[in-house]
Chains A and B, each alone.
Chain A
Amino acid sequence: MNRFTRRNTLTLGVAGLSSFSAIRHVKAAQAAAQAKQVLVLFEQGGVSHVDTWDPKPSMPQEHASPFKTIATNVPGIFLTELFSKTARHADKLSIVRCMTQPTPGISNSHPKGSQYVFSGEAPGGPEEMPDIGTVVSYRLGTAARHLPAYIMVPGTDEQQENTRLGFLPPAHKVFKTGGQPHRPDWTVPNLGLLGIDERRFRDRRDMLSRLDVGIPGVQSLETGSLVSLREQAVDMLTNPGTRKAFDLQSEPQALREKYGLGHRGQCYLLGRKLIESGVRFVTIDCREPPASEYPGGSNMNWDHHDFIYSTGSTEIAGGGAGAGRWGIGTWPMMGSTDQAFAALLEDLHERGMLQDTLVCFVTEFGRTPRINERKGRDHWTHAFSIAFAGAGTPGGQVIGSTDQEGGFITSSQSYTLDDYAATIYQKLGMDLTEPLYTPANRPILLARKGKPIPELL
């Protein structure tokens, strides 16, 4: 029962930097780590695997994907043409085609499925599990004191409800940038000086330090922690590195275009910039926001229950819950995704950042191998695909396989999102046998139902 308590973790803690013991822990752990940072590309809604990562050329005609199967730069690995740009970087990718999501009750729910991706454990257990990013922030801290250790770009309102702090201290909560980073007027709230210039801010602080003599006679950890946090906050507000990390305008125009000038491309680019600035864990969750150029697109996620192959909006008479999206082959969907993901892989590779960064392309589940009466594909949890790159992950690898319709796993191995989480922790060198403790001292193991995916190590 002699555990560290939330109290002593916090009085020493600042955002991203937890207790001293945790920092010692970092050193030991990081020695074995393959990854220093993690970049998660969360494409929410359930991306249809048979239209993307897991092509099925011999599927019966009435249920087949209309998109051609194409070769990649790795002999023997095939994708659909929706990934034609990404196909040139297959040598950097490990594609896992044997993902499955066996937890009942989660499959029909996007919120629960999203929470499952974020926390690496199916929601509904006895303790509310923190996000993987929150755990990583708590255990490893950040290398960039002026930035939060766990950032989500931009994080929609819907996902606001799916990220969790769980039982960990609030300093490790996800920091969501919000907004639309591709717009020139975009700023990150609370990370720039509000209303005053730096000179006046400095004068204010000078006055504050003259007037703030503390509380007479009082020596307390609480006041001490406020003062040191204040110094850190000032650093975040005035450090040029903070602004630079978020400043998309400073990137060369050609590179910005390479990622794609729209919402998704610029979010992916921002992901690279934040990793470059030392942020430990970055999640990109960036469905296209409603805009006049995508009429009918009120919720542009991957939940293609209706008219999945529409060349525009799925807002078509006879549709149902899948309305409000655009067809999977359109620019705001796979078009921008393929472009941005390929550019990201190339960019990270050229900068040598794939060395220490684990990149994960994930979604909460797959879609039915059969096309429904509304010309859509519904949720499918028996098999779906995700992909990894970087941090020692072998490139040019396909893990697992599904039957000729993509319906069920045929390989001997199959993996869950718990295994996905265990892989991330393992890559970061975190000890899966060292539990976290709730304030009531209940031991909680990281990814307790998962095992690292051996082919990725």
Chain B
Amino acid sequence: MVLPTTALRLFLLILSGLMADGDRSTESRDIQTLEVFPSEVQLSSKRSQRQLVVTARAADGTTWDVTSVVGMTLRDPELALITGTRLVPQANGRTLLTVTLGNARVEVPVSVTGQETEEQVSFRREVLVALTKQGCNAGSCHGAPDGKGGFALSMLAYAPEIDEESIIYGGLSRRITPLEPEDSLLLKKPLLQIPHVGGKRLQKTDAAWEILHDWIQQGAVADTVSAPACEGISVYPPGTRVLRLPGGRQQLSVMANFSDGSHRDVTAIATYATTNAEVLKVDDSGFVTGIQRGMAAITIRYLDDVHSVFFTVEQDREGFVWNGAPEAGDIDRLVNARLQQMQILPAERTDDAAFLRRAYLDLTGLLPSVDQVRAFHADPSDQKRSQLIDRLLASEEYSRYWASKSADLMRANQAAMPNGRAELFVDWLADSIHRNQPFDQFAEELLTAAGDASSTPAAGYFLAIPEREALAETTAQLFMGSRINCARCHNHPFESWTRNDYYSIAAVFARIRSEGSILSVQTSGEVTHPTTNAVMKPWGWKQMPGESADTTDRRERFSEWLTSPDNSWFARVEVNRIWAHLLGRGIVHPVDDFRSSNPPVNPELLDWLADEFRRVGYDRKHMVRLICNSETWQRSAAASEFNADDTSLFSHAAVRRLTAEQLQDAIGQVTRTVRPIQNLSAEIDRTQQELATASQSLQTAFPMWLEGMQKKLSDRECWQTMWMYSGVYAESDYDRAISMVYEPEAEQEANRLFAGGVRWIRKTDWLDGQQHAFPPSSPGAHYIARRIHASRPGKVVLEFGSDDGARAWLNGVQVLDKPQRRGIKTDEDRLELDLPAGASTLMFKVIDAGGYTGFACRLVSFDGVPIRELDIPLEIAELLQTAPDQFTPEQMELLQAVHRTSDAGLVGLTQRIRDQKRRLEYQTQRSVPEQNEFLMAFGQPRRESPCACERLSDSTIDQTLQILNGELVWNRTREAANHYAAFDNTAVAEEIYLSALSRFPTASEQQQIRTLLETTPNRQEALQDVIWAVINLQEFVFQH
């Protein structure tokens, strides 16, 4: 903001002196004063002009816009024209503008200078702005990546140099005809004087017409290089505004500020849009009119700058009387203040049944058990709601369910985080929630994680998103609540995110490197801007004070910036997410789309929540507890005349369809086809005891086992260890990948292959004779190596095939050289190798040209005798060569561990405990939910995007087919009938309703179910039908 303060400030120039009657025909309130912005008009060049904004003020301090109804006269009308409510200069001089409304009157000094000099129309500051205003360079028109009809512009003029080329020199120069400006295609097409696929886009009365016409007439030249750049816009009135209906309206005034310190009124050529056309409209001259009660923003664009003004439109509702709804704290106070302003009545507190079901579903994802429902209804305490909230917040189910919400957005799927890493990652998220790790510490731990993801699960976040641009987008969406992805290719259409911003966030991640399960941080690596090729300064550098050496992990400084108290995003984005999880809708909605053109529906509430979150040290559970204990969260879903139309201000509870996972679990719980979760901890204890007993007896059997194993091995003449894999050595082309000698090749000459610097990955699942794929490297090299043991010298035969070419070495001597490209064929190469007695090392290099790459290898025979697969773990086979008394304690421990894992009983118990802890039967609780038809139909996210919109909550025909006629529902209702068969015809209704709906059935419901059970000959089938019907009830499928 570089405007001189005098121009910004609102000046009261002249009082009308007397309490005037005002203009009763347009305003019923008494006007005390008129205020004009600007207080003084300076028109200093031929092409300058000035928008006036006139505000009336009543004795009680209320203000309203009267720009469009005042009278305006110039003392010397020769000096300027009054066009609408704008002043346009004519001749040099000084005069006074008189503004009147009724008896109110004010005078504004006007000075006109510079009229003797012609002024060139600016290509960048005027022509491009005019094209944006007319929609020419919109993404769906000539701003599309390939333009339209052979005429391409940069979207919203983000690249003026492209537009210069296209307009001035493109189209065989027919687009502009300076000698006959009106013959220019640039004018004739949008005027529809000749056919234009885009239709009529321009009128001769538009400000844009004159700009384009005059610019062409002046010779259609580009701006000089030294032309000042726009540094921002200032909008009057600033901040938020209230419009009161009837009659609420507001004239805006927009000033652009340039790098040379000059300012220009751009009200007439800026582009305006409303965020909600039902509430607010705006015309081309920046005149805003309220339409009906509500909130909306007007977004103003001038070149790359986007600015929004928030409006609240007030309107009286007949018969509205505020009901003095109870308030449990600041949340309710702030929500109610907004409701009262909008004349919406809050709903009543919901009943115990709905509260109970809501609390369980929102906090744990599950339904309460029948016993829990009965106990809650029977509890007379008036503290029972807050006690329940505390209990649920402390539960393991809460942590696991809320972890899954984050996991959904962080690509915790088995493809992006393979080999059990997704499970570990989500377990880590759940643990963070369980111990209530402060959110800033959580973000920092996540965003600076490095190392092996199997021991540092957080590193999985970076491994799952290999591209730094995608990391920038994901991180911004998750922690800054911003969708910056538009700015990858062009400036954001509704926001000030530029490509510079985008690539400087990407630069934060320029130095991380992932290999297999390991994430490391390098000391070099840069991101350059794709068109300017400038090396980008990483985000956080400019934003934070102080110098920073660039050799440290850039992510640390970024996290520091992210979590610093000055960063307004951090706390707001997270509390808004928590709020949205609990209330079904964010205060900023969608939750990852914070921008000035998408204002919070209740800014005071969001500010308060963010302040509170910071105050308590980013304690997430505290925020959840606060919200759940509010009257706002505990409101009924029942709508009334005075709130039915409210969907965003939290006057009543939002009815929400259960999520895919919630629904499958709820059906499991009602049909008793999943184990009761409340019995789980006792079960885990029991299994742990069993495990302890079993381990004990195994310990005693260890020496015998060891002896047996060693005997087994010494009976073999030839055996081999499992494959070790080097990972990818990526290369620029195939030939280089062949000729380069990478680490493993070099190390083998020094005969330190398995002890050197190569980080070998043990491939326990690469079995002999099968085909195994490498991660594609397009192109690159991969090494695999193993040991072969022979009890005596002999000839071993093996078969090998690879995609593409390969080389092989036995004990450092090359035994295969087939580097040419090929497809995989499992027995393409047949090697006959002379083995010495003892251990030999066999290594292959597989060279990849791109696309699929992999190999197959099979040990066929030793001295003509076929070789059987070894049925003991290969990895310890070598270890077993040692005599029992020479094992180190570590080796002993390893062998014991192998012993334990070779015992089916023990393995089963260990697995059972892990599964029980991971609550595999429950989709809301699992680290990685199942992917089945039912869940997919109900919009289960694939965990491939950081957008909360990946989870679909809309109803579809697939869903109704699933729930009416799907296999899951059919199988489970059939099983459920067995469980409910034990209840008599009266009790069964109660049992099912408590389980499914957390409430007792009404007399009529009970009666209907009893009648059905009594009159149907096949009771089992009748029970199935009842359960089926309950599962299909709206009250079941929705939470309310």
Contact = CB atoms under 8 A, between A and B. Distances in A.
Contacts of A214: 1034-1035
Given A217-B636, A227-B1034, A233-B960, A222 B1025 contact: no
B639 A219 contact: yes
Nearest to B488: A126
B957 A195 contact: no
Nearest to B492: A440
A225 B146 contact: no
Interface in A79-116: 108-109
A90 B1021 CA distance: 59
B894 interface: no
A208 B192 CA distance: 59
A292 interface: no
B952 interface: yes
A443 B955 CA distance: 25
Interface in A157-191: 169-171, 173, 190-191
B1029 A226 contact: no
Interface in B993-1040: 1005, 1008-1009, 1012, 1021, 1025-1026, 1028-1030, 1032-1035, 1037-1038, 1040
Secondary structure class of chain A's binding surface, majority of residues: loop
B277 interface: yes
Interface stretch (A7-15, A44-52, A359-367, A390-398): A7-15
A344 B915 CA distance: 54
A15 B956 CA distance: 7
Contacts of B939: 170
A1 B274 contact: yes
Interface in A217-240: 217-220, 222-223, 225-227, 229-230, 232-234, 236-237
Interface stretch (A66-74, A199-207, A254-262, A327-335): A199-207
Interface string B957-1000: 11111101111001000100000000000000000000000000
A226 B825 contact: no
B1025 A203 contact: yes
A60 interface: no
B657 to A, nearest CB: 6
A185 B44 CA distance: 86
A170 B956 contact: yes
B694 to A, nearest CB: 41
Contacts of A232: 957, 960
Contacts of A445: 140, 144
A2 B277 contact: yes
B965 A237 contact: yes
A321 interface: yes
A430 to B, nearest CB: 15
B1025 A230 contact: no
Contacts of B1038: 215, 220, 222-223, 226
A218 B639 contact: yes
Contacts of A435: 140
A422 to B, nearest CB: 13
A433 interface: yes
B957 A236 contact: yes
Interface string B247-279: 000000000000000000000000001111100
A215 B1034 contact: yes
B955 A211 contact: no
Contact of A171 (B274, B956, B970): B956
B655 A215 contact: yes
Contacts of A215: 637, 655, 1034-1035, 1038, 1040
Contact of A217 (B277, B639, B961, B1025): B639
A351 interface: no
A108 B954 contact: no
* Interface core residue of B146, B276, B637, B850 (most chain A CB under 10 Å): B637
Interface in A409-457: 433, 435, 439-443, 445, 448-449
A212 B961 contact: no
Given A204-B1025, A217-B637, A229-B955, A223 B1032 contact: no
Interface in B907-963: 939, 949, 952, 954-962
B299 interface: yes
* Interface core residue of B146, B656, B961, B1037 (most chain A CB under 10 Å): B961
B529 interface: no
A85 B139 CA distance: 48
A14 B961 CA distance: 12
A456 B864 CA distance: 68
B638 A218 contact: yes
A193 interface: yes
Nearest to A305: B823
A194 interface: yes
Nearest to B974: A195
A73 to B, nearest CB: 40
A442 B139 contact: yes
A435 B276 CA distance: 20
B494 interface: yes
A2 B957 contact: no
B966 A190 contact: yes
A320 interface: yes
B275 to A, nearest CB: 6
B59 interface: no
B1032 to A, nearest CB: 5
B964 A234 contact: yes
Interface in A342-369: none
A223 B144 contact: no
A225 B1008 CA distance: 26
A237 B636 contact: no
B966 A222 contact: no
A13 B144 CA distance: 29
Nearest to A306: B823
Nearest to B850: A108
Nearest to B351: A216
B955 A2 contact: no
Contacts of A229: 955-957, 959-960
B404 to A, nearest CB: 21
B274 A10 contact: no
A200 B1012 CA distance: 13
Nearest to B139: A443
A203 B144 CA distance: 56
Contact of A207 (B483, B597, B1012): B1012
Contacts of B964: 230, 233-234, 237
A218 B144 contact: no
A210 B1002 CA distance: 13
B638 A226 contact: no
Interface string A117-130: 00000000010000
B309 interface: no
| 4 interchain residue pairs of minimum CB distance | A217-B638, A443-B140, A320-B823, A233-B960
Given A2-B277, A223-B1034, A448-B144, 20 more contacts: A6-B954, A11-B954, A13-B954, A126-B485, A173-B958, A204-B1025, A210-B1008, A211-B1029, A214-B1034, A215-B637, A215-B1038, A217-B637, A222-B655, A226-B657, A226-B960, A230-B960, A320-B825, A440-B486, A442-B139, A445-B140
Interface of A: 1-2, 6-7, 10-11, 13-15, 108-109, 126, 148, 169-171, 173, 190-191, 193-195, 200, 203-204, 207-208, 210-212, 214-220, 222-223, 225-227, 229-230, 232-234, 236-237, 320-321, 433, 435, 439-443, 445, 448-449
29 contacts: A1-B275, A1-B597, A2-B274, A108-B851, A126-B488, A148-B957, A169-B952, A169-B954, A171-B954, A190-B962, A194-B965, A204-B1029, A207-B1008, A207-B1012, A211-B1029, A211-B1033, A212-B1029, A212-B1035, A218-B639, A219-B639, A220-B655, A220-B1038, A229-B955, A232-B960, A233-B961, A237-B964, A433-B198, A445-B140, A445-B144
Interface of B: 138-140, 144-146, 197-198, 273-277, 299, 483, 485-486, 488-489, 493-494, 593, 597, 636-639, 644, 655-657, 822-823, 825, 850-851, 939, 949, 952, 954-962, 964-967, 970, 974, 1005, 1008-1009, 1012, 1021, 1025-1026, 1028-1030, 1032-1035, 1037-1038, 1040
